[in-house]
Chain A
Amino acid sequence: MDFLLASLSDGLLIGFIYGIAAMGLSLIFGVMDVINLAHGPVIALGMFSLYLLYSVLGLHPYFGLVIVAVVGLLLGMIMYAIVVRRVIDAPHLSSLLATFAVNMVIIGLGTAVFSTAPYNVDFSLGRFSVGPVTLIATRVIGALVAILVTIGLYIFLYKSRPGRYIRAVANNKTAAELVGVPSNFILALSFGIGTMLAALAGALIATFFPFTILAGGTYELKSFVIVVLGGLGNPVGALVGGLILGLIEGIIPTFMETTWVPVVEFVMFVMILLVRPTGLFGAKQ
């Protein structure tokens, strides 16, 4: 029983972070129908940005997060302006390949600078016990930050003017343009927010796990699973999907070998695509 509790709480904590990474992917798909295959490298860039800010510049990691977010937002808007803008109305193959090309460019440059060796943000806040469960402080704070980010995103999307524009463009781009929404800027902003979430997720992961420039790939694939689970283009579904994935990762090791986790995840992924491509909570309409 203690084992199950310990395992579930670890899974749940990481689930929140999976959730915000997947929300980024889902938001981009919802607004512009683009599956961003550069999501993984952006997660990795988030990790390395935090590494540089903490280990080289000596900033506090949680202050570093703010900078990582800004960098992520700008990076996304630049990617949109240079690449995504041109393929937004093209067939899916074009947008998949274009974002994958960005993936290759980032990984190539990243490898040249950092090699593929593991890095580690040597930062610890110790641990504490809740009943029979021992929790690592950085992971708990990571989950709390993820919750804050989610709340922030919700408020932004539903209470602010640009947020409402984003939802309007997601609903119907032509109609939104007719009533004077600056759709190009809104699309760039959405892409920026999507990559910002990915970079933040990467930075949070970097506070407790070691990483390489290729590490984003694993989390990108997990994001795909989550996004399909929660419904493509449904950011709230993505957060719930992240939690479900985290729980699955917590439960499976309690009765079978941990290396079976990806088998379950990817079989589930293909099954959902086949049986219910709108996800468990519905895709965007």
Chain B
Amino acid sequence: MKRTLFTILTLLLAASFLLGACQTGTEPEVAEEAKPDEVTLVIGFTSSITGKYETSSGRQVRGFNLWMDQVNDAGGITLSDGTVVKLEVATYDDESNTDRIQELYTRLATEDNADLLISPYSSGLTAAASIIAEQNGKVMITTGAAADSNYQQGYTLVFQIYTPASRYLTGAVDLLASVGPEVTKVAFVYEDTKFSTGVVEAAKAYAEGMGYEVVLYEGYAADTSDFGPFINKIVDSGAEAILGGGHFQDGSTFARQLHEKGVDTNLFALLVAPPEPDFADLGEAALGVIGPSQWEPLAAYTPESAEVAGVEWFGPSSDDFVTAYTGAYDGEEPSYHSAGGYAAGVVLQNAVLTADSTDPVAIKAALDAMDLMIFFGNIKFDTSEENHGLQIGHSMIYIQWQEGEDGLSKQVVWPKAGATSDAIYPIP
């Protein structure tokens, strides 16, 4: 008995070593022999196919893939000397887990020979990936990663598409001041991750500067499933408005449990979750919830508005993007995460064209110099040493779930200039 088992075990061990040998033996597949006038640009990223970020990450990747398919179908990016740049991806599942990010990005940068990197979804995962990009000298475009702190680490190759976290909720405070001047007490309840902490720190300072009393300021752990203690504290604090949240899963749970407990509040603004179309699944609990959004289909960035702003316009319009996206993914409505993925591609495309080469140094220079308007909004990167790569062109809009004729719908309620509806206030 023992002998058989030992044999099995030895075989298992031997097999694992053998497998290892085989694997190192087979070279990772390199793009097929390129014609002299055609080069392949390998773009590497991980996505959260599983885990807590799957909703948002999935959309981001679908947005990016759509851009890539469009470019490849159109015959690639053509440079001035006639060279055609074709795109290829190398990608893995990061399971929404920081543990695996560095291993996988190292793999992308070294074994899969990715020329350019796109960030994973979320600030936490991106922070881990950025170091690898820098260590290996690869340009990385980050999307779905808003925390400011990642751009204060002395990196030179990391470029942010999203409006940074510090400007996520300040608009919601402005909105509150505009619709509810009688409110004095606000509560901040947020997920204690890099991203949301960055958001509420800035928003709290902003609110206090406007004279609000912050009656509750408390973080919850990322895996929180019971918001009871926080809801009890909100009730006890007498807050008239609640701001905070974190990512999609915890945000929806928070909204559901707050509704279930029947807490009255005038204004309820949450990060990330509300702009996702899936938030509507909460039904009544979604009604009146406000969320900051990087992009909405209703937002109007056009060649005309670029001209007014005095910047160059590039790429397709919002309408073209929405049509292509819904067409490509069985009628799925794009959220701002989808748009962010697509925008990362558009920015990359512009950088390659401006650089007129696939040389990373030239691409970095093109990104440094970029001042552009695309369907996603204005794109311009900070080039100072302290904040290199931070997004300084783009800005947020705010949506609210409102009751329409055919059920719940998202309406842009702030800034006033681009609003599609007045904010419902207070929440019924």
A contact residues vs B (CB 8 Å cutoff): 2-3, 6-7, 10, 14, 111, 115-118, 120, 124, 127, 134, 136, 209-212, 215, 218, 249-250, 253, 257-259
The CB with the most chain A CB atoms within 10 A, among B192, B218, B225, is that of: B225
Contact with A along B51-67 (1 / 0, CB 8 A): 11010000000000000
Interface pair B225/A115, CB less than 8 Å apart: no
Task: Take A7-B232, A258-B229 as given contacts and tell me if A124 and B51 are in contact as well, using a CB distance cutoff of 8 Å.
Answer: no
Report the separation of the CA atoms of residues A3 and B238 in the bound assembly, to the nearest whole angstrom: 11
Q: Chain A residues with Cβ under 8 A from B261's Cβ?
A: 127, 134, 136
Given contacts A117-B52, A209-B226, A258-B218, contact A124 B235 (CB under 8 A): no
B310 at the interface (CB under 8 A from A): no
> A258, B225: Cβ atoms under 8 Å?
no
Which residues of B have CB within 8 Å of A3?
A: 232-233, 235-236
A117, B249: Cα distance in complex, Å: 9
Contact, CB under 8 Å: B232 / A6:
yes
* B50 in contact (CB, < 8 A): yes
Q: Given A14-B226, A209-B226, A211-B225, are A115 and B54 also a contact pair (CB < 8 Å)?
A: yes
**Chain B residue at minimum C-beta to C-beta distance from A215:** B225
Q: How far is the CB of B111 from chain A (nearest CB, A)?
A: 25
Contact A258 B230, beta carbon cutoff 8 Å: yes
Q: Which of A2, A117, A215, A218 lies at the interface centre, i.e. has the most chain B CB atoms within 10 A of its CB?
A: A117
Q: Which chain A residue has the least Cβ–Cβ distance from B218? A: A257
Q: Is the CB of B260 within 8 A of A116?
A: no
Min CB distance B260 to A, Å, is 6
Interface: B262 (CB within 8 A): yes
B83 within 8 A of A: no
Given contacts A2-B236, A209-B225, contact A259 B51 (CB under 8 A): no
| Residues A253 and B233 in contact in the complex (CB < 8 Å), given A115-B50, A116-B52, A259-B220 | yes
Greatest chain A CB density within 10 A among B218, B229, B249, B260 is at B229
Query: Which A residue sits closest to B229, measured CB to CB?
Result: A253
Assess whether B149 is interfacial by the CB under 8 Å rule.
no
Nearest 8 A/B pairs, CB to CB: A115-B50, A3-B236, A253-B229, A209-B225, A10-B228, A258-B229, A6-B232, A116-B51
Answer yes or no: B302 CB below 8 A from chain A CBs: no
In the assembled complex, which residues on chain B have CB atoms less than 8 Å from the CB atom of A212?
52
Of B220, B221, B229, the contact of A10 (CB 8 Å cutoff) = B229
Contacts of A134 in B (CB 8 A): 261-262
Nearest-neighbor residue (CB-CB) of A126 within chain B: B260
In the assembly, what is the distance between CA of A249 and CA of B260, in Å? Answer: 20
Q: Mark B203-220, 1 if CB is under 8 A from A, else 0.
A: 000000000000000111
Q: Check if B225 sits within 8 Å of A116, measured CB to CB.
A: no
Please determine whether B96 and A116 come into contact, CB atoms closer than 8 angstroms: yes
A1 CB to nearest chain B CB (Å) = 10
- Alpha-carbon distance between A258 and B263 when the two chains are bound, in angstroms: 19
Beyond known contacts A115-B49, A258-B220, A259-B220: 5 more, CB 8 A cutoff: A3-B235, A115-B51, A116-B96, A215-B223, A258-B233
Task: Give chain B nearest CB distance to A86 CB in angstroms.
Answer: 13
| Interchain nearest-CB distance for B125 vs A (Å) | 14
Quote the shortest CB–CB distance from B122 to chain A (angstroms). Answer: 14
Residues of A within 8 A of B52 (CB): 116-118, 212
**What residues on A are CB-neighbors of B225 within 8 Å?**
209-211, 215
| Cα–Cα, bound, A120→B252 (Å) | 11
- Which A-chain residue is minimally distant from B192 (CB atoms)? A259
- Is B356 interfacial (CB 8 A cutoff)? no
Partner of B51, one of A10, A117, A136: A117
The 17 sampled A-B contact pairs (Cβ below 8 Å) are: A3-B232, A3-B233, A14-B226, A116-B50, A116-B95, A124-B260, A134-B261, A136-B260, A210-B249, A211-B225, A212-B52, A215-B223, A215-B225, A250-B229, A253-B233, A258-B233, A259-B192
User: Shortest Cβ distance from A205 into chain B, in angstroms?
Assistant: 8
| CA A257 to CA B219, docked complex, whole Å | 8
Considering the complex, which residues of chain B in the window 242-272 have a beta carbon less than 8 Å from any beta carbon of chain A?
A: 249, 253, 260-262
C-alpha spacing A209/B221, complex, angstroms:
15
Name which residue of chain B comes closest to A128, CB basis: B262
In the complex, which residues of chain B have a beta carbon less than 8 angstroms from the beta carbon of A209?
A: 225-226, 253
Complexed CA–CA distance, A184 and B73 (Å):
68
Q: Which residues of B contact A120 (CB under 8 A)?
A: 253
A258 to B185 alpha-carbon distance, docked (Å): 21
Distance in angstroms between the alpha carbons of A250 and B228 in the assembled complex: 9
Smallest CB gap from A132: residue in B:
B235
What residues of chain A lie closer than 8 Å to B262, measured between beta carbons? 127, 134
A259 close to B50 (CB less than 8 A)? no
Select from chain A the residue with minimum beta-carbon distance to B48: A117
Complex: A116 Cα to B94 Cα, angstroms: 12
Residues of B contacting A117 in the complex (Cβ-Cβ under 8 angstroms): 50-52, 54
Partner of B219, one of A118, A218, A259: A259
* Least CB separation from A2: chain B residue: B236
Shortest Cβ distance from residue B137 to the other chain A in the assembled complex, whole angstroms: 33
Which residues of chain A come closer than 8 Å to B236, judged between CB atoms? 2-3, 6
Complex CA gap A115/B220 in Å reads 24
Give complex CA distance A221, B253 in Å. Answer: 23
Min CB gap A222→B, angstroms: 12
User: A212 CA to B222 CA in the complex, in Å?
Assistant: 13
Residues of A within 8 A of B192 (CB): 259
CB proximity of A208 to chain B, nearest CB, Å = 9
Cβ distance B140 to chain A, nearest Cβ, rounded Å: 25
Alpha-carbon distance between A85 and B229 when the two chains are bound, in angstroms: 42
Chain B neighbourhood of A258, CB < 8 A: 218, 220, 229-230, 233
A77-B261 Cα distance, complex, nearest whole Å: 40
How far, in Å, is A60 (CB) from chain B's closest CB? Answer: 19
Question: How far is it, in angstroms, between the C-alpha of A9 and the C-alpha of B54 when the chains are bound?
Answer: 35
Q: Given contacts A116-B51, A117-B50, is CB(A127)–CB(B260) below 8 Å?
A: yes
Residues of A within 8 A of B226 (CB): 14, 209
CA–CA, A277 to B49, complex, Å?
44
Q: B253's contact among A14, A116, A210, A215, by CB below 8 Å, is which?
A: A210
A10 touches B232 (CB 8 A): yes
Give bound CA distance, A138 to B226, whole Å. 13
Instruction: Determine the chain A residues whose CB is within 8 A of the CB of B249 once the complex forms.
Output: 118, 210
* Residues of A with C-beta under 8 A to B219: 257, 259
Q: Given the complex of chains A and B, what is the CA–CA distance between A212 and B260 in angstroms?
A: 21
